[in-house]
Structures are given as C-alpha cells and as structure tokens.
Amino acid sequence: MLKVEHIGIAVKELPGAIRIFEKLLNTKCYKTENVETEQVNTAFFQKGTTKIELLESSINDGVIAKFIEKKGEGIHHIAFEVADIEAEMERLKGEGFILLNEIPKPGADNKLVCFLHPKETNGVLIELCMERKECNL
C-alpha cells in the first residue's frame, strides 16, 4: 500500500455537502461523477496528495442509502492507493482478509478498486485503488 488515496464520506444530499466541503477545505470540487455500477453519485476534492470523496446514493435503496439509514452520514471508507492491485489482493487474501470482489472493478475517478470486508478490519471498510491504465481498461 502506498498511501491514503482518499476518504469516502456518505452524505444524504450531494449539492449541499459539496457547498459545505468547499467552504471547509477552501477549495473547489474538481469532479462529480455518477458510478452506475455502485449506484452512487460522487464528488471529489483534493488537498495535497489526499482526496475526499463524497458519496450520495443515486437510488432509494442503494448501498449508501442503506449505510446512512443504519449509521447516519459520516465516514464510509478509507481508500489506499496500491501499485499492483491484483498482487495486493492476493497478499491480503493470504493474510485472511475477505475481498468483497474477486476481481478488480472499475470505480470512480478512473480507478480499479477492490473492497475488503469490514468484519476483518475492525469495522472499517477498506478500499484498494489503482489508477487505470490504457492496457487494463
């Protein structure tokens, strides 16, 4: 793992949350993106080399909607950048962690991602992410 790439925050309503984080971070949201496969609308902020990803459910009973129903708004996941996502998935599987997807899947912000089950990580949902390159599109 290279570094914390971003922190994902579940929000009820994206436009209002964007305004709050623009004020908080004193920087403009640089990208919004709908990720159909995850049923989320996302918004990204960058501070230094770390990003904040706001996540709003794009459908009524999506995973983010369910998360907010159970726990309220707040930190949803921590994403670590990795150099080789498949190698890191193999390593973590060998260490006994449970992967929520067996093959890397396309995520927001031009990334390939894999999530780890929070049961094995002290309740924190962990995302591995790697920049998508031409060859692995």
Measure the CA–CA gap between 104 and 40, rounded to whole angstroms.
Answer: 18
Q: How many residues bind Zn ion (CB under 5 A)?
A: 4
Q: How far apart are CA 97 and CA 119, in angstroms?
A: 9
CB of 80 to Zn ion, least distance (A): 10
Residue 8 or 104 having the CB closest to Zn ion: 8
From the CB of 49, what's the least distance to Zn ion, in Å?
15
Residue 81 or 96 with smaller CB distance to Zn ion: 81
Q: Is 79 in the site for Zn ion (CB under 5 A)?
A: yes
Could you tell me the smallest distance in angstroms from the CB atom of residue 77 to Zn ion?
A: 6
Smaller CB distance to Zn ion: residue 53 or 81? 53
List, in order, residues 6 or more apart from 137 with CB less than 8 Å away: none
Segment 43 to 62, residues that bind Zn ion, using CB under 5 A: 53
Ramachandran angles phi, psi of 135, nearest 5°: -75, -20
**Cβ-Cβ contacts under 8 Å for 132 (sequence gap 6 or more):** 106, 110, 111, 112
**Which residues lie near Zn ion (CB under 5 A)?**
8, 53, 79, 127
